[in-house]
A = this chain, B = another copy of it.
Amino acid sequence: MNEGKFADRVKYLAPSPIRKMMAIAKELVAEGKTVYELNIGQPDIQCIPEFARAINKKASTGQINYAPYIGEKYLRETFARYLNHYFDRRRVSHLVVDTENVLVTVGASHALSNTFLAICDPGDEILVIEPFFSPYIGFLAVSGGVLKSVPTRAEDGFALPSDEEIQKHITPKTKAILFNSPNNPSGKIFSKEEVERLARIALKNDLFIIGDEVYREMILGETEAFSLLQVEFSDEDENEKFKNSMIVVDSSSKSFSLCGVRIGFVVSKPGLLEKIALVNAHTVACVSDLLQYGVAGAYDAILSQPEFLENLRNTYRERLDATMEAIDEFLPNVVAPRPAGAFYVMIKFPEIDDANEYCHFMLEKFNLGGETVAATPAHAFYRDPELGKNEIRVALVVPPDKMRKSIRIMAEALKAYKIFKGNQAKPALW
C-alpha cells in the first residue's frame, strides 16, 4: 500500500493506548482468565431503567427517521432543563441554558472533534492543562490542529501555574484553552479561582475556552466542580465577549453508564453552536433519533428522581474508600493522591521505571488464582515523554471488594514483576 496516498492527518492518528489494553483484556477474558478491567472508564452500574423503556417504545414503532442535524428539540430541551436544575438545586448563579444553546453529538468525543474541526486550520494549536485525556491528541489531529500543554504536577495537587507561566504557552497559532474538570485522569477539580483565571486568559488572548465537563456528576468529596457556565465578569463587555467564546462539552456516558450509547452535547451561544453543528451535519448527517429518544428518557427520569445521581456518588465514594484503604495496606510505597472527582485513581510507583511494562506484565504474564488486573499506563496522559512513566491509572468501575482485591493483585504483581525484571538481567538457561 502506498502510504503517500493518504492524508497527512492520518500519520498522527494511532489507536488509543486505553483501547489497546482493552483489546488484550477482552482476549484474555475470552480465554477464561478473570480480569478486573480497571483500564477503561466504563461504569458497571445499571443505567436508570427509563432509558431502556424509552428505547423500547421508540424501536417498537418500526421506523426511525432522520433527526435535525443540531439534534432533536425534545432532547435539547430536556438536557437544557437538566443543566439549569443542576445549578439551581445548588443555588449558584449560572448562565441559563436554553434549547437553542444545545447541540447533540455522537458522544463527547464527537463534540470535541466537531469543535476542533470548526475552529482549527492545520497547524493551529489548542492549549490543554496536563495531565489530560490522551485521545484529545487524535481528536485534534483530524482537523490538522496540534495539542500543546501546560504542565501541572501531582506533588502540587495539580495546581494551575501562574498566569505568566500559562501565557508563555500561548502563540499566534493558539485557538483555544481546553480543560477537563473533574479531570480524567487526575481527579482534580479546578477551583472557581482557577476556572476564572483560565477564562480571563482566554479573553485577553481572544481565544475560545472549552470546558470538558463530562464528569460533572462524579464528585467524590464535598466540593462540586465549578462550571464554565458559572463564570461571570463584572465588566459587561468582557462578559459578552466571554459568552461568545465559551464552549461546554458534556455526555450521557458516565452519569448513566451509557458509554456505548454515544450521546454527547455541546453547549454554547447559538452563533458559535451553529458552526459546530454544521460540522456535525457534515460528518454524521445527524445523530440517531432512537438514541436521542432513549437518552431524553434517562434525563427526564433523573429530573424527577435526583436521588439516582446522589446514590451514584455514594457508590463511587465507597469504591474510592476501599481503594485508598487497600493502597495504604498493600502498596505502602506508592504515591496516590485522593481524587476529588471523576472516577479514577492515579498511582505513582517510585520503585519502577516503566509502568507500561508493569501493566502488560500484570495483564499478560501474571495471575493470582486465575485473576488479574488491567490498568492503564499513564504516560499517554502527558505530552512530555518523561512524565507519567511510572504512573498508572485505575478506574473505580467494580464494587469495593473487587477494588480491594484488585489492589492486592497489583501489589502481588509488583513483587512478581520485580523478580521478573531481575531474572531478565540474568543469562537465559535455554
Contact = CB atoms under 8 A, between A and B. Distances in A.
Quickly give the copy total for this chain: 2
Interface in A23-44: 23, 40, 42-44
Contacts of A122: 122, 144
Contacts of A289: 260-261
Nearest to A40: B66
A117 B122 CA distance: 13
A282 B135 contact: yes
A64 B208 contact: no
Interface stretch (A3-11, A226-234, A324-332, A340-348): A3-11
Contacts of A283: 106, 109-110, 113, 139, 142, 283-284
A211 interface: no
B62 A1 contact: no
Contacts of A62: 46-47, 49, 51-52, 257
A255 to B, nearest CB: 13
A22 B70 CA distance: 14
> Interface residues of A: mostly helix, strand, loop or mixed?
loop
Query: Could you say which interface size class chain A belongs to?
Result: 35 or more
A135 to B, nearest CB: 7
Contacts of A59: 51-52, 55-56, 59, 294
Contacts of A272: 1
6 contacts: A7-B117, A15-B69, A19-B68, A40-B66, A66-B259, A142-B282
